[in-house]
A and B are shown apart, each in its own frame.
Chain A
Amino acid sequence: MLRIYIAGMISVLSAVCSTPALALEFNDGKVQVHGFASQGIVSSTGNNFYGDSSNNISFDFREIGINASYRPRPDLQFSAQVINLDAGDVSENGLLLDYALVDYTVSSTEDTQFGIRLGRVKNPFGLYTTTRDVAFTRPSIVLPQSIYFDKARSLALSSDGVGFYLNKESNYGGINFDLVVGNANVDRGSEATFLRVDLPGDMKSEKPSRLMRIMYTTPNDRLRIAFTAANIDLKYDATSHEFDPNLAVHLDPKIISAQYSNENWELTAEYSQMKSSITRSFLPNFNNVIEGYYVQGSYQFTPTLQAVVRYDASFNNKSDHSGKKLSAETGLPAHVFFAKDWMIGLRYDVTPTFMIRGEWHHINGTGWLSSLDNNADPGAMERRWDMLMFMGSWRF
């Protein structure tokens, strides 16, 4: 199996390195086709992340996508992207429609732009969500899990509905405002995250979720700061009477983001709080504030070699960082309620369209591990664990 993979990767690699073109263009560039393909390798101690990685090597980490856009007029664009993700047992199988939308710029002047998007729209959640599946746009192989949890990746990813955007530029800097209203898409991973099990029924959007992000960029383009806030209402659609028909989850995440970029280095930090309330009929209602933050620095040694360091911390309960209170209430080990992750990584751009990455994580806590990837018994998880990852990624 391993041999087939390596042979496959080598043949893909050699094909890739001989094609410098960045995109396919048709109709004088009005139609563009872009895509990406990434393969990751994960090995960890104690716990599983992205497949069967514990004391083993998992290849269950693949992201493939292709998109097309058509801009018949300067104020109108149609675009769609399909993706195929393999992320251990957390991911859904098959092709997913990542987005499919029409974007109409209602008004555009030299310094202001206002428009509307209809269809399946990506949620502008923090700095990285809109393109989180494209390895080239991430700062590392995996995003900081405190804010961009992979175990519930679909939740914040896209909405079926409408989006509005307003961009304004002045001598004092630029303001970008986004508002998205629509039904959030929920996958098995998100369901397992909030219910701790993947029940036979489905989690569905109860009513349209609301998300807004406001971003300010300084006139010299060095500093970006942003604030994101959302309201998401989910309902459990029970398929059998054994399960609670009135189960509902309300989430209201807020994120503050800041990024300072220089020629050779970049500093990024984000802080988030998410109030989560679970309403149920057979058990008391459950309210909780999830907290997370990370600080990340990257340095470009040469135009093709970059290093990144990050500290990423997440806590299931803002006022119970050690997890002891939640542990006493639930009987689960305290370490499932937090995770503190030190990461160091390297990125090497072999060509402008192909890059390889490696990174090492040293983690205290199992807060962002999915019950789908790991044994149903959380007591079997190890509190302190390490993870080594490699990834090859190609795009056009």
Chain B
Amino acid sequence: MMFRALALFLILLINDSVAAGDEDIVVAVNQNISENHISRSFARRIFSMKARQWADGSPVIVFVLPDRSSHHLTFAKEILETFPYKLRSVWDRQVYSGTGQAPREVATIDQMMTNIANTPGAIGYLPREKIDGIKIRLVEVR
């Protein structure tokens, strides 16, 4: 019994660590944003909630999925080259010291699409096939 519980625990453990999807995640913005590409450091500053305006001075609105979502993990690791817990601690330090705000959290990919499509200045991330090129544009990070 004990052994079986342990085995189950280990399987869950392993599953958790490979759950990060192999999907191609890209940075997505509202159609009113004209940038075609941004630097990695600017992307990191945007998703750290430190860069708050686009080149034209309009506000940046950041959307993210929950910390434990596999898409968020892939995005954090592959695009920003950091980890979800590092992002969370950067947001927390700002939120609880009065020096910044948290990104707006959405529960699902569908909500992410709706919010990016309908919010001028919005930035988030989506699986590549969800980018329609009309209301939601792709921004390359390099």
Give me the interface of A with B, judged by CB distance under 8 Å. Answer: 22-23, 25, 29, 32, 34, 36, 65, 67, 69, 71, 73-75, 77, 79-81, 99-101, 103, 105, 108, 110-111, 113, 117, 121-122, 130-131, 133-134, 136-137, 165, 167, 169-171, 174, 219-221, 261, 263, 300-303, 352
Q: Is the CB of A131 within 8 A of B81?
A: no
Contact of B42 among A32, A69, A110, A167 (CB under 8 A): A110
Chain B contacts of A170 at CB under 8 A? 41
Contact of B92 among A131, A165, A167, A301 (CB under 8 A): A131
Chain A contacts of B61 at CB under 8 A? 29
Q: Is the CB of B55 within 8 A of A117?
A: no
Q: Is the CB of B50 within 8 A of A81?
A: no
Taking A77-B100, A169-B45, A263-B83 as contacts, is the C-beta distance between A110 and B55 under 8 angstroms? Answer: yes
Minimum C-beta distance from A384 to chain B (A): 34
Minimum C-beta distance from B101 to chain A (A): 5
Contact of A130 among B59, B60, B97 (CB under 8 A): B97
Q: Is the CB of B67 within 8 A of A174?
A: no
Q: Looking at chain A's contact residues, is the secondary structure mostly helix, strand, loop, or mixed?
A: strand
Minimum C-beta distance from A302 to chain B (A): 6
Contact of A75 among B44, B53, B101, B104 (CB under 8 A): B53
Tell me, yes or no, whether B130 is within 8 Å of chain A by CB: no
Minimum C-beta distance from B55 to chain A (A): 7
Q: Which 3 A-B pairs have the closest CB atoms?
A: A79-B98, A74-B52, A130-B97
Tell me, yes or no, whether B13 is within 8 Å of chain A by CB: yes
Q: Is the CB of A105 within 8 A of B52?
A: yes
Bound-complex Cα distance A73 to B82 (A):
28
Chain B contacts of A77 at CB under 8 A? 98-101
Chain A contacts of B16 at CB under 8 A? 302-303
